[in-house]
A and B are shown apart, each in its own frame.
Chain A
């Protein structure tokens, strides 16, 4: 069992607030990913959970027990560090067995557990080596193995893949996902890579400036971002944003006059907003279409295009100077400076009020 409750957690360093009141529930066997821009406090939050940093105020509860002030050694959590932090003077075998050794587990049991972890992570041939004699990927696996042998209540990962090359990162990501299923373990994973967040997580926690912006499943966040920050942070290429004003508000639709001149009717209930208020329209690259001239809604100028073979991402600028990205399936090569006409998939557009909060959700949710 591992049920983690975080209540109004705050942390400051030398008077500077870094974590500014976080509330979070993590349930047993969940794979939770903390994402956010660099410096937003992801690592700090993880280290607070681990007990490596002292909490300034608030509570952390594990399985109903308050662990806020408990020493890290007694929390029964295992952490995989970005730098791996293997014990350089010990062989891989000793690295794996160190925690069990400290816990005075019997010799045979230790051997069995080490052998098991070594088998899962394919470390059998490396057991007698020192960390210095391993490649980055192998060290990474030892670091994970060190956590596995302990069978901890929660696995904590701080950007464990960031020192691996791209191919190995993809492979290890899959292995981690498999490990989570096999071990039925609770895992908390910190990353600033949203692909890792989207692919691994049951639950994504988006952090920004020491606060939780939104919590939810990856697709929930993708389709229903609660605010401008989450909307802009998740998804590559980024969601495009256009400023505008509300023209008309009905129960189940509204009209928006965009600064770039286009007028849109959106199937959104903007109840609570008054006519004339400033809004921001958000639209993802896949919800914009290039249409043949004439019947589109907006004229834009083609900027550079990124042709990937399967898709083309056209960057375009609107009359107001705002930039959008359009995803075109297959190959498409507009000339730089060409005029294109865009159509909006209005059912999938997002609307944010002046404070950046999503004011209304798209009626349809299908991707």
Chain B
């Protein structure tokens, strides 16, 4: 028989092992991608896959020669950041009214908004393509900013709504009685209290925009093309080059990974700031 202490220990060991296993499974593709990017094309195709090889940077050099990485990266940054900010500007007022001035229709509206995400994007490809063309927005950043804002809006509103729902309405009413206008109530009371949740929402929005490939591939060609378009350009015409594809994917993921990693620390701090001081 195990004592209570021993069984606790065993339990935490098993949970720990499971967590590591899941983390390894999730991390493996990224690890493999980075590894492949450092191989020669011949090594990359080898079966069985090789773990030991002479690393090379030639893939990265090739990419740098063939295309202007920073132009693509700059497009990605501009589009993701603008779409995220625009999305938040729309989502905060929407979530505010739904969370604090609930009507009989609020729940249904929320569900309806989310249900629009069930539509396959390809279903509206032609109309949106034609609209973009009509307004002269093909291969423009503005088109992607608008579309990203709109496709992420339901999820972002939903998330902000749940964060707002956690805030007791009394606090906002106190501010109202203290003489705050709606603007002051939101900017000086609501947003600071919800800042942890808002920050994670914004991070999610950034990631979603950064990785979006369907619309960026269909609506841009060169001038406004973000990193996803750059990656795609390595996968088709001249056949598959695993090593180069891996290298360009690594380059495409790197900024958002690093940003996510840095801001995660900030996020944890931000989330616990109010609680512990």
Q: Which residues from chain A sit less than 8 Å from chain B, CB to CB? A: 14, 50-52, 71-75, 77-79, 81, 83, 85-89, 98-99, 102-103, 130, 132-133, 146, 150
Decide: B171 and A103 in contact? CB cutoff 8 A. no
- Interface secondary structure of B, over-half rule: helix
Decide: B173 and A98 in contact? CB cutoff 8 A. no
Given contact pairs A102-B184, A103-B179, A85 touches B168 in the complex (Cβ within 8 A): yes
Produce 1/0 per residue, B227-256, CB < 8 A to A: 000000000000000000000000000000
| A223-B34 Cα distance, complex, nearest whole Å | 87
Decide: A87 and B174 in contact? CB cutoff 8 A. yes
8 Å CB contact of B173 from A74, A85, A88: A85
Decide: B178 and A88 in contact? CB cutoff 8 A. no
Given contact pairs A83-B168, A85-B171, A87-B189, A73 touches B179 in the complex (Cβ within 8 A): yes
| A360-B262 Cα distance, complex, nearest whole Å | 79
Name B104's closest neighbour in chain A (CB-CB).
A14
A91 shortest CB reach to chain B, Å = 10
What B residues does A87 contact at CB under 8 A?
A: 171, 174-175, 189, 193
Does B177 count as interface, using CB distance less than 8 angstroms? yes
| A18-B139 Cα distance, complex, nearest whole Å | 59
Decide: B168 and A146 in contact? CB cutoff 8 A. no
Decide: B174 and A79 in contact? CB cutoff 8 A. yes
| A50-B177 Cα distance, complex, nearest whole Å | 8
Which residue of B168, B170, B173, B178 has the most chain A CB atoms within 10 A of its CB atom? B178
Given contact pairs A83-B170, A85-B170, A87-B189, A130 touches B277 in the complex (Cβ within 8 A): yes
B152-180 with Cβ < 8 A to chain A: 168, 170-171, 173-180
Decide: B189 and A102 in contact? CB cutoff 8 A. no
Decide: B177 and A88 in contact? CB cutoff 8 A. no
Decide: B176 and A102 in contact? CB cutoff 8 A. no
Does B126 count as interface, using CB distance less than 8 angstroms? no
Does B121 count as interface, using CB distance less than 8 angstroms? no
Decide: B193 and A89 in contact? CB cutoff 8 A. yes
Interface size on B, residues (CB 8 A): 21
Given contact pairs A89-B274, A102-B184, A130-B274, A73 touches B176 in the complex (Cβ within 8 A): yes
8 Å CB contact of A81 from B104, B173, B274, B277: B173
B46 shortest CB reach to chain A, Å = 57
Which residue of B170, B174, B188, B275 has the most chain A CB atoms within 10 A of its CB atom? B174
Decide: B179 and A89 in contact? CB cutoff 8 A. no
Name A102's closest neighbour in chain B (CB-CB).
B179
Given contact pairs A73-B179, A99-B179, A146-B178, A52 touches B274 in the complex (Cβ within 8 A): no
Known: A79-B174, A79-B177. 8 other contacts (CB 8 A): A50-B177, A75-B177, A81-B174, A83-B170, A88-B274, A102-B184, A103-B179, A133-B277
Does B266 count as interface, using CB distance less than 8 angstroms? no
Decide: A88 and B175 in contact? CB cutoff 8 A. no
Produce 1/0 per residue, B171-214, CB < 8 A to A: 10111111111001000110011000000000000000000000
| A71-B178 Cα distance, complex, nearest whole Å | 11
Could you list 14 examples of A-B contacts with CB < 8 Å? A50-B173, A52-B173, A52-B176, A52-B177, A72-B176, A83-B168, A85-B170, A87-B175, A88-B171, A89-B192, A98-B188, A99-B178, A103-B179, A133-B277
B19-35 with Cβ < 8 A to chain A: none
Decide: B170 and A81 in contact? CB cutoff 8 A. yes
What A residues does B188 contact at CB under 8 A?
A: 98
| A83-B193 Cα distance, complex, nearest whole Å | 17
Decide: A102 and B274 in contact? CB cutoff 8 A. no
What A residues does B184 contact at CB under 8 A?
A: 102
B104 shortest CB reach to chain A, Å = 8
Decide: B178 and A98 in contact? CB cutoff 8 A. yes
What A residues does B192 contact at CB under 8 A?
A: 89
Decide: B277 and A73 in contact? CB cutoff 8 A. no
Decide: A77 and B177 in contact? CB cutoff 8 A. yes
What B residues does A51 contact at CB under 8 A?
A: 176-177
| A36-B171 Cα distance, complex, nearest whole Å | 26
| A225-B275 Cα distance, complex, nearest whole Å | 50
| A74-B173 Cα distance, complex, nearest whole Å | 13
What A residues does B275 contact at CB under 8 A?
A: 132
Decide: A72 and B168 in contact? CB cutoff 8 A. no
Name A131's closest neighbour in chain B (CB-CB).
B274
| A132-B276 Cα distance, complex, nearest whole Å | 8
| A73-B183 Cα distance, complex, nearest whole Å | 12
A147 shortest CB reach to chain B, Å = 9
What B residues does A77 contact at CB under 8 A?
A: 177
What A residues does B179 contact at CB under 8 A?
A: 73-74, 99, 102-103
Which residue of A52, A77, A78 has the most chain B CB atoms within 10 A of its CB atom? A52
Name B194's closest neighbour in chain A (CB-CB).
A89
Decide: A98 and B175 in contact? CB cutoff 8 A. yes
| A191-B193 Cα distance, complex, nearest whole Å | 30
B123 shortest CB reach to chain A, Å = 38
Name A85's closest neighbour in chain B (CB-CB).
B170
B168 shortest CB reach to chain A, Å = 6
What A residues does B180 contact at CB under 8 A?
A: 73, 102
| A79-B177 Cα distance, complex, nearest whole Å | 7
